[in-house]
Amino acid sequence: MTRRVFLLFWNLLYPGVVVLAAPFWMLKMFRRDGWGSGLLERIGCYRRDAEFERTGGVYIHAVSVGEVLLALKLIAKWKLESDDHFVLVPTTATGMAVAREKASAEVRVVYAPLDFGFLIRRAMTRFEPRVVVMVESELWPNLIHQIHRMGIPLGLMNARLSPRSGRRLMKFRRLVSPFLELLDRVGVPEKEDLKRWQDIGVRTEATVLTGNVKFDPAGAALPKKRDEFSEMLNQFPANRVAMAISTFAGEEKYLDGAFREAGLQSVIVPRHAERRAEVSAALGDRVVLRSQFRAPQGDETFVIDSTGELCDWTAHAGVVVIGKSFFEKGGQNPSEAILAGVPVICGPYMANFEPLVSELKAAGGILMVSTREELVAALTEIPEGQVEAARTVLEKHKGAMVRTIALFSDSLRVTT
C-alpha cells in the first residue's frame, strides 16, 4: 500500500477514532488533573501569539512521564554543548505536568497536536524547528509525512524495538515502511535494534548505534536522597525499605505480602498515581498515601502516589522490586535503582528490557525470581557485589547521551 493511499484511509478513520475516544480521553485527563493545563494546544490554539515564538530550535516530541524525563535529561546535557533552544512537546497531562515542573524557563513546553495534517503544519509553521526529535517509538503517520514534506529533518532517539514489537510491525510492514523510510536519523540502543528497524523499513544509512540514553551513567540524573522523603520514611517502624516500583494491578497486594513476610517496610510506587484508591482498596486500606501523608499508626504500607519523583525515591530503598514483571507485562526500567546503588529484584517477565536484563543476570547484577517463596528469600539474602556487577553492565552505554546529541546536532538530511 502506498503512503498516499494509507494517509487517505488514516485521515478518514482518525477523526472517527478521536470522536469515539474523546469521552474516555477526557475522563483520563480529569483523573490526571489535565483540565486547565492548556489542552486546547492539542487543536492548535496557543496562549502565546505566534510572533513571540522563538524559531529555529530543536522540537522534541515526548509522550508521557518517562519520555519527558528522558527528554529533559537530553536537553540539560545538550544545552551544555550548544546554544540551541528547545520546544518540548508532551502528549499526556501527566507528561505535561512533569515537563512544566521540571523544565527550565527557556524551554518552551506545549502539548503535542493531534495527528491531523493541518495541525502538524500549524505547529511546524509556528516554531519552524531546524530538527524534530521523537523520543523512543511513538510514530504517527501525519506527523512523519507533514514534517518530511516541509523539509524538516526528523528522527527517533533511543529507538529501542523489542523482538516482540519487531515481529508485530513486520506483519504490517507494507503499511509502516513508507513512513519509516522518511526518517532521517534513528538512534538505537542495541546492535539487535539496528536490524529490526531496517527490516521494517528504516534506511540502513539512517540507523546509528548510540547506546541507551536511559542507561548512560554519565547522562542520567543520578537518584539522590531528599530530606523530605527521609523524614517521611523515618516515621515507619521497620528500618529497611523494600520498594516496588511502577506496579500494575494485581502486583501491589502480591508484593506487599512478600515484603511483610520478609519483615521489611513495604513501599509501593504504582505506575499511575491516579490508581491510589484502587491500590488502597487492594491493600485493605492499610496504607499511608504520600499525597495525604500522616504519621503511621502501625505497620501501614507507604504508597507513593506522586508523579515524577520515582528517581529520587529509589535512593531511599534497601532493595527495589521491578513492577510489571510478575504477570507477563514486560517489565520496567531497572537502571535508576542500579544507579542509586540499590540491589534489584524482578519477576520472570522482563522482555521489554532485553538484552539488558539477560546481561544483568549473566553478570550477577539482578535477581530474577518466579515464585513468592523465591521472592521472600531474595529479599532477605542479597548476594554480595550485585550492585557493582550491575553498574559494570551499564557502563557499556556510557556516552549514549553525547552520541545522541551529536546525531541530531547535524540537521542535514541523510540522502536517499
Output the pLDDT for position 18. Answer: 87
Mean pLDDT over each residue of the chain, to the nearest integer: 90
pLDDT digits (tens, 9 = 90+) for 213-231: 888 876 556 788 999 999 9
250: left (phi over 0), alpha (psi -120 to 50) or beta: left
pLDDT digits (tens, 9 = 90+) for 232-273: 999 998 889 999 999 999 999 999 999 999 999 999 999 888
Please choose, from the candidates 371, 255, 370, the residue with its C-alpha nearest in 3D space to the C-alpha of residue 319.
255
Q: Among the listed ranges 24-33, 98-107, 177-186, 265-274, which one has the minimum average pLDDT value?
A: 24-33
Task: Assess if residue 26 is contained within a domain.
Answer: no
Residues 54, 177 within the same domain? yes
Q: Residue 251's domain spans which residues?
A: 227-397
Task: Assess if residue 20 is contained within a domain.
Answer: no
Residues 233, 380 within the same domain? yes
Q: What is the mean pLDDT of residues 71-79?
A: 92
pLDDT digits (tens, 9 = 90+) for 151-181: 999 999 999 888 888 899 999 999 999 999 9
Q: What percent of the chain has pLDDT over 90?
A: 63
Residues 385, 404 within the same domain? no
Residues 52, 75 within the same domain? yes
Q: Evaluate if residue 29 carries a pLDDT over 70.
A: no
Q: Evaluate if residue 30 carries a pLDDT over 70.
A: no
Residues 384, 404 within the same domain? no
Judged by DSSP in three states, 326 sits in coil
Which amino acid is located at 329 in the chain? K
Centre a 10 Å sphere on the Cβ of residue 221 and count the other Cβ atoms it contains: 15
Task: Assess if residue 17 is contained within a domain.
Answer: no
Task: Assess if residue 262 is contained within a domain.
Answer: yes
Q: What is the pTM of this model?
A: 0.79
Number of domains in the chain: 2
Residues 285, 392 within the same domain? yes
Give the separation between CA 86 and CA 79, rounded to whole angstroms: 9
Please choose, from the candidates 95, 91, 104, the residue with its C-alpha nearest in 3D space to the C-alpha of residue 68.
95
CA 327 from centroid of its chain's CA atoms:
20
Output the pLDDT for position 416. Answer: 41
